[in-house]
Amino acid sequence: MQRYNIIKDKIPREILLLKSLPCLYGKCSFCNYILDNSTNINEIIDTNVEIVNMISGEFGVVEIINSGSVFEIPEAILSLIREKCNSKQIHTIYFEVYYGYRKRLKEIIDYFPKQEIRFRIGIETFDDEFRERVYNKPFPTTNLKEFSTNFYACCLLICVQGQVIEQIENDIKIALTYFKEVTINVFVDNGTPVKHDSNLFNLFMTNIYPKIKDLPNIEILIDNKDLGVFVQ
């Protein structure tokens, strides 16, 4: 288990993986990270206090992930994050947010008046039919302008059985058009019904990866431990 790391490449930042209350949605077919969620508030607080206190301010940028959305982090911990970020001159904080919270983003922006807040959303794919059928994560992406206004960054999930290379190419193109930063997660088998497609992965590595790997605003996670924070 690793809940704190420093990322020096491309987008230098401290990254914290916090424990949180259960994800509001909790039904994405590929997601096993919600196993880290808890309903035990004391356990959540005890786990997180130590991690939040590790913030050093080295880059002025902190990313908080919590196997859910920022709204599932208890207030006591949000308050500690704010106090720590203020005292360490953090100017930018990234938070994860699920689509269902899109109308509440201002609450977090107002809670952290001294920082720029950047929201990251797990879009996974812009093919809405595929996202609903394969990932069980339905929402419409017809209004991409609205997404790009609300969310600074998005995540894509690639190389799963049923996908084709053209879909991955198209998703990356759309993501780069509408979001300032993009995280590409290569799916790794994790015991859920979604399965890795190794042929597609080889195609991606041969045809797409070399063209995008050096773009400054794309992070490609070949392994789900690549950010250096993980619980399994």
Binding site for ligand SF4 (CB under 6 A): 23, 25-28, 31, 33-34, 67-68, 98, 122, 137
Q: How many CB atoms lie within 10 A of CB 131?
A: 21
Q: Name the minimum Å distance from CB 105 to ligand SF4.
A: 15
End-to-end CA distance of the chain: 6
By C-beta, is 72 or 181 nearer to ligand SF4? 72
By C-beta, is 117 or 157 nearer to ligand SF4? 157
Contact by Cβ (8 Å): 112, 147: no
Q: Name the minimum Å distance from CB 34 to ligand SF4.
A: 5
By C-beta, is 34 or 203 nearer to ligand SF4? 34
Measured in whole angstroms, how far is the alpha carbon of residue 232 from the centre of its chain? 17
By C-beta, is 72 or 85 nearer to ligand SF4? 72
Length, in residues, of the chain: 232
Q: Name the minimum Å distance from CB 132 to ligand SF4.
A: 13
Q: Name the minimum Å distance from CB 164 to ligand SF4.
A: 22
Q: Name the minimum Å distance from CB 202 to ligand SF4.
A: 26
By C-beta, is 33 or 90 nearer to ligand SF4? 33
Rg (C-alpha) for the chain, rounded Å, is 17
Q: 60's torsion region: left (phi>0), alpha (psi -120 to 50) or beta? A: left
154 by DSSP, 3-state: which?
strand
Beta pairing, strands 92-96 & 153-158: unpaired
By C-beta, is 136 or 170 nearer to ligand SF4? 136
9 by DSSP, 3-state: which?
coil
Q: Name the minimum Å distance from CB 176 to ligand SF4.
A: 22
- Six token digits for residue 166: 């053209």
